[in-house]
Amino acid sequence: MLGGEPLGAQWWLLWGAAVTFVSGAVVRLTSPSTPGSRAAWRVQAGALLFGLLFVGYIYLQARNPSLNVSFVGKLWILSPLQDTIPGPHSIEAPFDSVPGDWLPYKNAWRFLLIFGTCWLYVAGLVFGLVERADARRWVLVVGVNAAVLATVCLVHRALGERLTLWHFSDTVSFTGSPVFFYKNHNGAYLAASLAVVLGLAWTAEPKRRRFGWEVVALILWAATVAVNSRAATGFATLWGIVYFVLRWQRTAREDRSAIGPRKWFLVGATALVLAVVFGLTGGRKAIQRFSPALSSPLDFVQGGEYRGLLRQVGINMWLDEPAWGWGGGSYLYLFNTYEKQVPQIAAHIYREQPNLNRFYMVSADSDWVEFLVEYGVVGFSLFVAAGVLLAVAWWRWCGWAPGLPLFLGLGAAGIVLHGYLDHILRNPALLILLVGLLVVAIRLAAPRDSKQHRLRKTDQPAG
């Protein structure tokens, strides 16, 4: 199993990524390019290079273990290895779960499989999405997929299902390991997909098609709330507000008379529909989870006191191996060594579970802290550099102007920020969605000709 999924399913994902890579390369070699596609290619190729260096860095870690995990029953001992060479290193641990144990399976080879699969898929997108029309088709597929996922999710919630979209529950309920779809992963995927759908609505013509995408966006928002992820609900609501304000402004510019009683009637009808959906899918319970925002706003923004303590444990790990990191999956095996430096966390755990007889934690509940712990400054910089390169080009080409690139960028930003609060970026689906949004946003924001360095007509939807 990988990330909570059967290992066989992950190998199928790897084969799918390989097919995407090969087919994308064939398309790139057989298609003529335009100035816009060449401009996007230069930026995307640079990001791909950083991504490949990051995958290579994980490979070096996996080949150079510095500690070994040996099990005594359900406990483990870390022993130093003598043949480690200076440079990237990792912890030699099981690739699969330990028989008869709930302990999740984490080692550098497994994360090499995750990130390598993502790189192959995204490289296929970079190669294959040569023109704007190609990129828009990818966005359309994501939008349709989001509509199906949201509908299934709402049906599951209305029927009282504890899990949504996914039926593997053997590890997530006990360890919090990255299961596809654990509720926070589910929410993050839906919230980012909502941003995509809002972008499709913004650029849709005629008006009835735009209205159709807006209905899909409402369904997605309701589904995001229903899965009960606070961060995802917050981002989905924020993207909806951004769209509503921009839409209202555009309508006012195009036809001032259009903002009248009919618009207010539609707003009221929408609110009524959402209230009914809330009642059917448990949305009221999800909204109640936001009550700490009033009593403890700082803790709420940080994800709660408990998450803050987990991150502090992670920071202590990183400070002992700041440059190279400890290797993929190492947080799990180092936790019992370092949690003693943050005694508040044990007090918190035993206050919540006084009869707990096995104390460990699989994640820092923050991808960005774990990336520092496991890949160090060197690996972390390679990973971040790929995204920064794309983000700078997006900004330089006015991807922030109202249009499809704007909403794709918002979806990516939501995943990045959510990654500080949860362990979502080890999930291949979310990782692929994040990088896919960035790559496609760049293709749509790229100038149409070599002399166009800025999109001056911001009222005209980009893409």
Q: Any idea where the domains of the chain sit in the sequence?
A: 7-301+363-445
Q: Choose between 216 and 9: higher pLDDT.
A: 216
pLDDT beyond 50 at 174: no
Pick the most confident of 91-95, 204-208, 253-257, 324-328: 324-328
| Averaged confidence pLDDT in the chain | 82
pLDDT value at residue 88: 95
- 387-420 pLDDT per residue, tens: 999 999 999 999 999 899 999 999 999 999 999 9
- Sign for the CA dihedral angle at 135, 137, 139, 145 comes to negative
pLDDT beyond 80 at 55: yes
Confidence of residue 460 (pLDDT cuts 50, 70, 90): very low
Q: Which range is least confidently modeled, 26-30, 123-127, 266-270?
A: 266-270
Confidence of residue 5 (pLDDT cuts 50, 70, 90): very low
pLDDT beyond 80 at 12: no
pLDDT value at residue 208: 87
Report how far residue 437's alpha carbon sits from residue 413's, in angstroms, rounded to the nearest whole number: 10
Residue 307: what residue type?
R
pLDDT beyond 50 at 52: yes
- 356-396 pLDDT per residue, tens: 677 778 888 899 999 999 999 999 999 999 999 999 999 99
Confidence of residue 106 (pLDDT cuts 50, 70, 90): confident
Q: Choose between 410 and 457: higher pLDDT.
A: 410
Confidence of residue 283 (pLDDT cuts 50, 70, 90): low
pLDDT value at residue 362: 80
Confidence of residue 46 (pLDDT cuts 50, 70, 90): very high
pLDDT value at residue 163: 62
pLDDT value at residue 364: 87
Distances (CA, A) of 275 to 150, 329, 367: 17, 42, 34
Average pLDDT of the residues in 235-260: 81
Pair type for strands 65-72 and 75-80: antiparallel
Average pLDDT of the residues in 254-278: 62
pLDDT beyond 70 at 298: no
| pTM for the full predicted model | 0.86
pLDDT beyond 70 at 300: no
